[in-house]
Amino acid sequence: MKNFLILFLLTLLLWIPGCQREKGEDVTSRQIRIALVLKTLNSPFFIDLKDGAVAAAKRLKVELIVQAPEREIDVEKQMQIIENLIQSRVSAICVTPSGSKELIPAIGKANRADIPVLIVDTRIDEGAARKEGVKTITFIGSDNYQGGKIAGEYVAGLSTSPLKVVVLEGIPGHETGDNRVRGFKAGIEKYSHVTIVASQPANWERDQGYNVMQNLLQAHPGIEVVFACNDLMALGAMEAIAAAGKSENIRIIGFDAVEEARQEILANRILASVAQHPNEMGRLAVETAVKVLAGDSIAPYIPVNIELITRDKLLLDSGTIQSQQ
């Protein structure tokens, strides 16, 4: 009996630390709180990005907090969100900046609170960040300049005859839209038959894309191509062009290749869109944040692939073209 009691006590002592380790591991997992701060959740692009992040967080068993302003242009609200997350002591912050310069002070506060910040989709202004001594872990996203260049080269190849093009820009002064416009101009630079007759901001929004396009149609009746720096503006432009009865005469190229735009490409109402895979960005953001918190070394730039989406590509990917052969 005495020997049995000793054996029981030894077994209990060995079992208790094991339980404590398992419990400790669960608690540590629950304590990882990653914040994803988006520009808005009123956009298919950012909803897709969020979905990728949510799936990754679920798989990695970490808590994910997703917050965003109502509108992409509300930089002050995004700054307030980040400051509140700092106060709540999240483990890491992944952010798609609404302002490449404006958000730097909020990131600086995160630095001082020892909360790592990962930039997703839209770069911050590196010169302004260096000047303020602000540091980020990495940038996860696609090359917006290259995406714009792909769109420009595609437009230039549509015809050898003169082409009058209008550009719908994003928010002026913001890295994402500015680089897409610069890339587009570089893509058409050596083609003398392509002329940009107007380039105006529509602030990433569908209704503004519609309104700006209405004005451009009146000011430039000979428009043949529209390049919109995101698909929401492209969809708004498409509606304005249809309302003016000019759908047969004007070709539209967008950016992001969101699901609705893909459907309009299949229906021949939008010609093409540049895809940059936001779901992948969301996944990489959460996975990289977890690696940072584990002490892993992280590359300063984690690229996400971009590609041009056309009707032929969509049909080929779905197997429709093959089945018709």
Compute mean pLDDT per 10 residues along the chain, 325 residues long, and list them. Answer: 44 40 39 95 94 98 97 92 97 95 95 98 92 96 96 97 97 89 97 97 96 97 96 98 96 96 97 96 98 97 96 87 46
For residues 189 and 235, what is the distance between their CA atoms, to the nearest angstrom?
26
The pLDDT assigned to 59 comes to: 97
DSSP 3-70: HHHHHHHHHHHHHHHHHHHHHHHHHHHHH-EEEEE-S-SSSHHHHHHHHHHHHHHHHHT-EEEEE--S
206-219 vs 231-243: helix axis angle to the nearest 10? 50
The pLDDT assigned to 66 comes to: 98
Domain 32-142+278-304 identical in fold to domain 144-275: yes
For residues 89 and 67, what is the distance between their CA atoms, to the nearest angstrom?
15
The number of CA neighbours under 13 Å toward the Cβ of 149 is 11
This prediction has a pTM of 0.81
**How buried is residue 261: exposed, middle or buried, by Cβ count under 10 Å (0-12/13-18/19+)?**
buried
Domain definitions of the chain by residue range: 32-142+278-304, 144-275
**Residue type at position 7:** L
Residue among 101, 92, 156 nearest 285 (CA): 92
The pLDDT assigned to 73 comes to: 85
DSSP 104-171: HHHHHHHHHTT--EEEESS---HHHHHHHT---S-EEE--HHHHHHHHHHHHHTT-SS-EEEEEEE-S
For residues 176 and 24, what is the distance between their CA atoms, to the nearest angstrom?
42
Site of tokens 């709180």: 33
Topology of the domain covering 144-275: Rossmann fold (3.40.50)
Q: Which CATH superfamily is domain 32-142+278-304 in?
A: Response regulator (3.40.50.2300)
For residues 118 and 123, what is the distance between their CA atoms, to the nearest angstrom?
10
Distance of CA 95 to the CA centre of its chain: 10
The pLDDT assigned to 173 comes to: 83
Contact 37, 81 (CB under 8 A): yes
For residues 109 and 105, what is the distance between their CA atoms, to the nearest angstrom?
6
For residues 208 and 217, what is the distance between their CA atoms, to the nearest angstrom?
14
The pLDDT assigned to 28 comes to: 46
The pLDDT assigned to 319 comes to: 76
CA dihedral 43, 290, 63, 73 (to 10 degrees): -30
Distance of CA 198 to the CA centre of its chain: 26
